[in-house]
Amino acid sequence: MGQWDWVYDLKSQPIGDYLLDKLAENLAEDVTKFPPAVDGWEDEATKARFEPLLASGKKPSELAVRTAIWLVQADLRREFDAVDEFMRNGGLDDRLGSPEDRELCRFLWRFLEDKVLAFAEASQSRFKRAELAEAMNKLERRLYRVTQA
């Protein structure tokens, strides 16, 4: 058996799927090694809001992560009414117990969405928003080994 025989056993995968898998892998690493490195803050108010929380060493609950993933997916699919209704009706307050967990969820929502949109920009918008939302499903499966029905 030659050194590269394993290459023949690999299943071919379209490059787009491969890149979306890599995006999900990168995001999963950011979530599992929380807090992630923040490249830059959009403004001083955002920095003042989230930096102390991240420095505290607290980690988001599984429900906070799953909620952030859902919020990113909804934004990417342009389901703004669903997000608005969720937030207006106290969705975070009802789902997440502590104020810290709610803030960690809000941070993750922004962070993950910013990373996905930066990926889309770097790939020169070769991916549709629905495909990017699917990458969030891949992220959730990677983190929690979700099975598809």
- Model confidence pLDDT, tens digit, residues 80-97: 999 889 888 888 888 888
Q: State the average pLDDT over residues 22-33.
A: 95
| Cα–Cα distance for residue pair 127/104, rounded to 1 Å | 28
Using the predicted structure, report yes or no on whether residue 147 has a pLDDT greater than 60.
no
What pTM value is reported for the model?
A: 0.86
- Inside any domain, residue 149: no
- Inside any domain, residue 96: yes
- Inside any domain, residue 47: yes
> How many domains does the chain fold into?
1
Are 92 and 67 in contact by the 8 Å Cβ rule? The answer is yes
- Supply φ then ψ for residue 69, to 5 degrees: -60, -45
Query: What percent of the chain is modeled with pLDDT above 90?
Result: 69
